[in-house]
Structure 1
Amino acid sequence: MVASGSGALQRAPKRRPSGSRPRRDNSLTRIVTRARRAWDRPLTAYYLIFGGSLLITVLGLVMVYSASQITALQMSLPGSYFFRKQFLAACIGAVLLFAASRMPVRLHRALAYPILASAVVLMALVQVPGIGVAVNGNQNWISLGGSFQIQPSEFGKLALVLWGADLLARKQEKRLLTQWKHMLVPLVPMAFLLLGLIMLGGDMGTTIILTAILFGLLWLAGAPTRLFTGVLSIAVVLGAIAIKTSPHRLARLNCIGATDPGQGDQCWQAVHGIYALASGGIFGSGLGASVEKWGQLPEAHTDFIFAVTGEELGLVGTLSVLALFAALGYAGIRVAGRTEDPFVRYAAGGVTTWIIAQAVINIGAVLGLLPIAGVPLPLFSYGGSALLPAMFAIGLLIAFARDEPGARAALAMRQPRFGRKRAGGPRGPRRWNTMRRRASAARSSGER
């Protein structure tokens, strides 16, 4: 068709065939693609570990303050007593986290044996009369004077991770892990020594966590299925004996899924934990408005702080906590899977197993899916002895995440270099372009 007055030839618009559908909008596809690219960037694990652990710790401080006020007042203490102690432990833990995140890998390996020796000595001193202190029927504390106490078994988790990772890494470098005896000895005997010292104090929950760390290290080392079956069988038999010979533990096992307070005093805590979660609803009753913490729910600021979180912050709050732990677990697995250093792989896998297994056992007990093991929620519950080694372990993960080649290049590009001329001097633009190319290459390799 010829346009009037212009002489220009114009095409008639194409008509869509009858019955055809319009093209789908590719905006969702572009969003998913960008999200995957962002997820695969070199600094993703670093930001997830640092940000996730920071949010868990800060939210934990808030919930400790909310859940512990009534308990402190009942003990004739200031309402902020437990919060101040937890805040002090968090400040010390932040220093440990920063120090661990800046240590080179060789220094972490050098600290493995001193930390293990210190943990064994302290765990043995717990059983010495006059030194060890019993809390809630478990003899696993050492008093430092006044109201300060430490639980050496919490540091035993960190000791097993570091020492086990260094041991397996040295054996892998010598190609000895193909023999089952080198895979088991001396890792399993030392783990059983730590487990025995813990069981002497009656702490079944920490025993389960150390067993999970041991299995995690063996799995990362490539232990065959029959070896796993043998070690697991021994652990199950010993656990069954420990539960059968203790009426207290057997009663806790019978409280799985309990919803009736009339089932006995042993099930009181489990039942009221379910009540707290059920009364929270979707958005909760409001921060500080929990009813169960007014004497109905024992250990509201320690083992059952997740129940108070569900009551005050609702399903949204509990799902947020679960999402943070899931992100932390994913980042730890990613660090362990991408490294070529065997020590980093074993240590990152051991720390991830420790944090996630303890979180699953604590939350599972609150939900009534697992027996109450008496373990705190990592980085969240009240307790300086549990918080300090956990934050040091998070510092390990941060150091390993920073040490990845792509992450090093990306961080070097973002760090300001004082005195560098980017536009004025002859070397400024060239150096800046070189760093940009390195970061781009690292990002593309991470995407692949």
Structure 2
Amino acid sequence: MTARSAKPPTARRAGAQPAPVRPPRRPSTPRGPSGPRLFFERARRTWDRPLTAYYLILGGSLLITVLGLVMVFSASQIQALQSGLASTYFFRKQLVAAVLGTALLFAAARMPVRLHRALAYPLLIVSIFLMCLVQVPGLGQEVNGNRNWIYLGGPFQLQPSEFAKLALVLWGADLLARKSDKRMLTQWKHMLVPLVPMALLLLGLIMLGGDMGTAIILTAVLFGLLWLAGAPTRLFTGVLAVALTVGAFLVTSNPNRMARLGCIGATDPGPDDQCWQAVHGIYALASGGWFGSGLGASVEKWGQLPEPHTDFIFAVTGEELGLAGTLSVLTLFAALGYAGIRVAGRTEDPFVRYAAGGVTTWIIAQAVINVGAVLGLLPIAGVPLPLFSYGGSALLPTMFAVGLLIAFARSDPAARAALAVRQPALRQRTSRGGLAGVLRIPGGTPRRKREKTMRRRASRPPSGER
């Protein structure tokens, strides 16, 4: 091949079509997770939002209260008729307490933190005074062997020990917060005094009436406060050992409490029917199945199960709503407990941390003791299921305590900013001042702001144009 016959590499034949030009490749963008990973990623982002705890506390507590009203109405009808009362007697009283409790919840949710701290000492003094009145003959009333009620006239009674739980939470949180600001909690004497002596005073007044169930809840609140305050392991273990020793003595010295302890895991009522309530609670749960026998169709509430609308309302719930209903209740309590722990763990305010932890310990410990007794895993302590069982004296302070958690969840800076963004448009406009929603044109009259919309608007033609 000569140089003349060689063709350049770019030469084209006659009539040949030019080669198509390919567009430049776009840089590939990284794809996000898809399928289950996308679902879990979105769930994680939703769970980490600032308002998650706020909505869990508000929604969970209201759902528990509403479901509790439904179950009180269902579980208390036969008990009311057997007592010669109207079938809706207990439900109407619980409904009034729920309305008042809801008002207290929203009032507590709107209060500033400094006002909550200001209520600590007055509430503690009033609680101690009322618990002393319980021991006065003619004022104190004995119910089911426990003298812890004050007769108010008519069908109304008051249990001051329920308000003592709230008083101990607020007062203990305020005390520990002030000592934390002064860096005094590094010494064990400042951590124990006067918190432990005041708790012992409240426990002594409660035990004078024989109410050991409430005393256990109050002890749990005390240990929760000490744990949150950072009590050393040796100190915490020592106080726990003393509490267990005193509790063992109180149980072994009372035949009724020993009998309740012997009913743990019982499947037979026993020779004297001493485990009747515990066994029939298991019967109610077992007969419910997966989805229950239907609302209002419980058999055990027809005189077989004592206290079906108070201490053992969870058993009636399992019989009528089945495993699905009981798991729903437990899920709501778990969500409430998680939200309370989240509020206590994310705050920088010591009072908010101690108060939120104390309220969460109170509600969850009481729920565990009640459900454990119904399941036969714990002795029957005679404590109601928070926000769910019948009893206005227990419902009112508990709903106020839930309002505290809501207020603490709202006080978080990120949650406060998110709530400000989600305010209604009217409230945002009126808070800015001046003419809301009005645009001022220099040298002219104000006109309304044009809203953004997907609808295409035609401009008005000038005069004379068709």
TM over 0.5: yes
**Residue 331 (structure 2) aligns with:** 323
Does residue 396 of structure 1 match 2:398? no
* Displacement of 1:230: 1.1
* Displacement of 1:234: 1.0
One-letter amino acid of the counterpart of residue 415, structure 2: A
Secondary structure at the counterpart of residue 303 of structure 1: coil
* 2: CA distance, partners of 1:6 / 1:377: 84
Select 2:170's aligned residue among 146, 157, 162.
162
Structure 2: give runs of 5+ residues left out of the alignment: 1-16, 24-30, 442-466
Does residue 369 of structure 1 match 2:377? yes
**Residue 178 (structure 1) aligns with:** 186
**Residue 87 (structure 1) aligns with:** 95
Q: 1:83 to 1:6 in 2, by over 3 A?
A: farther
Q: How does 1:36-435 map to 2 (within 5 A)?
A: 36-416=44-424, 417-419=428-430, 424=439
* Displacement of 1:160: 0.2
* Displacement of 1:266: 2.2
> Quick check: 2:64–2:329 contact (8 Å CA) kept in 1?
yes
* 1: CA distance, partners of 2:417 / 2:280: 51
One-letter amino acid of the counterpart of residue 288, structure 1: G
What percentage of residue pairs aligned between the two structures are identical? 78
* Displacement of 1:79: 0.3
Secondary structure at the counterpart of residue 376 of structure 1: coil
Secondary structure at the counterpart of residue 149 of structure 2: strand
* 2: CA distance, partners of 1:6 / 1:134: 105
> Quick check: 2:268–2:279 contact (8 Å CA) kept in 1?
yes
TM-score normalized with structure 1 length: 0.89
* 2: CA distance, partners of 1:251 / 1:237: 19
One-letter amino acid of the counterpart of residue 273, structure 1: G
**Residue 14 (structure 1) aligns with:** none
Secondary structure at the counterpart of residue 330 of structure 1: helix
* Displacement of 1:26: 2.6
* Displacement of 1:237: 1.0
Secondary structure at the counterpart of residue 178 of structure 1: coil
Q: Deviations over 1:350-379 (max 9, x none)?
A: 000000000000000000000000000000
One-letter amino acid of the counterpart of residue 263, structure 2: C
* Displacement of 1:423: 8.3
* Displacement of 1:25: 7.8
* 2: CA distance, partners of 1:139 / 1:266: 21
Q: Deviations over 1:149-180 (max 9, x none)?
A: 01000000000000000000000000000000
Q: 1:119 to 1:425 in 2, by over 3 A?
A: farther
Secondary structure at the counterpart of residue 77 of structure 1: coil
One-letter amino acid of the counterpart of residue 302, structure 1: T
* 2: CA distance, partners of 1:265 / 1:184: 44
Q: CA RMSD in A?
A: 1.8
* 1: CA distance, partners of 2:409 / 2:157: 33
* Displacement of 1:6: 10
* 1: CA distance, partners of 2:227 / 2:271: 40
* Displacement of 1:262: 3.0
**Residue 451 (structure 2) aligns with:** none
One-letter amino acid of the counterpart of residue 372, structure 2: G
Secondary structure at the counterpart of residue 262 of structure 1: coil
Secondary structure at the counterpart of residue 293 of structure 1: coil
* 2: CA distance, partners of 1:230 / 1:117: 29
One-letter amino acid of the counterpart of residue 418, structure 1: R
Q: Deviations over 1:280-303 (max 9, x none)?
A: 000000000000000000000000
* 2: CA distance, partners of 1:76 / 1:251: 31
> Quick check: 2:152–2:158 contact (8 Å CA) kept in 1?
yes
**Residue 17 (structure 1) aligns with:** none
* 1: CA distance, partners of 2:231 / 2:271: 43
* 1: CA distance, partners of 2:334 / 2:218: 20
Secondary structure at the counterpart of residue 130 of structure 1: coil
One-letter amino acid of the counterpart of residue 64, structure 1: V
* 1: CA distance, partners of 2:373 / 2:89: 27
**Residue 437 (structure 1) aligns with:** none
Rg (Cα) greater in structure: 2
One-letter amino acid of the counterpart of residue 81, structure 2: L
Q: Deviations over 1:393-435 (max 9, x none)?
A: 0000000000000110011111132345568469xxxxxxxxx
**Residue 5 (structure 2) aligns with:** none
TM-score normalized with structure 2 length: 0.86
Give the count of matched residue pairs. Answer: 412
Q: 1:70 to 1:230 in 2, by over 3 A?
A: same
Q: 1:105 to 1:25 in 2, by over 3 A?
A: closer
* 1: CA distance, partners of 2:125 / 2:220: 21
Secondary structure at the counterpart of residue 265 of structure 1: coil
> Quick check: 2:429–2:437 contact (8 Å CA) kept in 1?
no
Secondary structure at the counterpart of residue 210 of structure 2: coil
One-letter amino acid of the counterpart of residue 145, structure 1: G
One-letter amino acid of the counterpart of residue 100, structure 1: A
Which has a greater percent of helix?
Answer: 1
